[in-house]
Structure 1
Amino acid sequence: MDRIDDGLETKAGAGGDIAALFAEFSSAFEEFKATNDQRLQEIEKRGSADGLLEGKLERLNRVIDGHKAALDRVSAERARPALEGKGATVPDGEYKEAFSAYMKRGEEKALQVGVAGDGGYVVPGEVETEITRLMTHISPIRAIAGVRQVSGSVYKRPITVTGPQTGWVGETASRPTTDSQTLAELSYPTTELYAMPAATTAFLEDAAVDVGQWIADEVNAAFAAQETTAFVTGDGNNKPSGFLNGTKVAETSWSWGNLGYLATGVSGAMPASNASDVLIDLVYALKAGYRQNANWVMNRKTQGALRKLKDADGNYLWQPAAAADGRASFMGFPLVEAEDMPNIGADSFSIAFGDFRRGYLIVDRQGVSVLRDPFSSKPYILFYTTKRVGGGIADYDAIKLLKFGVS
């Protein structure tokens, strides 16, 4: 993901005032609209826009993206629950103290609560919750998908593909036997996701160190990046199967087991005129029962391209969030930014639209394990941290794709 060099990254990291950040974000979008309106007027009059104007528009696009990234980080920081040493109420306090002692000095006393048979030590509940909470902020697919927690290694889910056959009959007419419903089974194996942060003994023995928070911060960044990629493009080989890994067919030929798509009709681009028409068609390719909870999913560059589009009344189809911790919307539906979605290119599937809560399922095996290793990399102590996670398409009719191609 490209970083935005406009000062916003530093400001966000310093814990900027969220109201001020939101005001700057809103101001930048208003300037973006005014600049784009000027660009469209020049195109209408002369057939093209001044290059300086195009450049300014792209810079404003980057500024808007930077402000949004800053807002997301500040919101995530404020949403963190208190952990050890920060006034948190700890229901399993004795176990947590033992866990912290184990992390700092390798002590094993009283660490038998919930221990896995492989010798690892299950992270206290508060820390596991913290990792999941932060991943929800950083991993956009996890925030909108369905999530199940399981105790086994594989989650199996039966699903009705077609319902039982029915028919109208007269009062005295015979009742012939009807066909039964058709069932299919979806299987979601969980695979291991790991991180191995390191620390010196001096760092761990510092009384000011919040061990639980440190684990959450270190592991969260590694886990979130890996699983988000897998949920979008994973091939299912020792990782979850991403929704873009599914077999894709034109919507007119859709059948269960495939993801339906509509084509823009132009290789690597939107149509030159009435560009929004194909997006409207994509919205209505989704059945009404799915549309009410639907989200757009695309990356930052694709979002920047769509930000310039207007409807027939001159209103911008992309609208900023109404609140600092909200999501932008496109054509009235929430927009989720996932950088693992492909950039617009020839025959790319760069936009997804659907009810991901029903369309994609994430399976988490209960527990995050930590194995302390003070021997392999002296003077550093390694913490081999693992969780098991799986994922795959749950309803092939709940997600539709836009293909930037002729057909």
Structure 2
Amino acid sequence: DKRVDAIEQEKGKLAGQVETLNGKLSELENLKSDLEKELLELKRPAGGAQNKLATEHKEAFVGFLRKGREDGLRDLERKALQVGTDEDGGYAVPEELDRNILNLLKDEVVMRQEATVITVGGSDYKKLVNLGGTASGWVGETDTRSQTATSRLELIEPLMGEIYGNPQA
């Protein structure tokens, strides 16, 4: 009988420890899922809440282009500019000042004279380029029109990276 009581007592202790460990395990699982969500947001191009706002604006704009719907588009455009956040319109640099900065950069950095700088949110930027070849003709109002050549288009996908200079002193 004493052995059975001791076993029951030990069983009660172990059940308490198992319950404590299960609580800690569920807490760790919650922390892990929160961390995974944060990491997923960081891996997204232009990640986080700003990306959500940009997606909303893009959907509203596409709806306007395709079907002429303006519902909420103006409100989203106002939200996109935030005076308190520099990169969302808070800089408010006058146009003349902005041109001067760009001109100075072109004088200082030779690559800026040759390159077009485009800010993108990810590494999947593509651009359609017209290689030329479009022809035209000149005819009277009622004259027949012969077929002309069409332009050739090419899709370019630039490599993403950085150009740097590290001269020795």
Is this a same-fold pair by TM over 0.5?
no
- For the pair shown, the structure with the greater C-alpha radius of gyration is 2
* TM score, norm. by length of structure 1: 0.15
Q: Which has the higher strand share?
A: 1
The structure where helix makes up a greater share of residues is 2
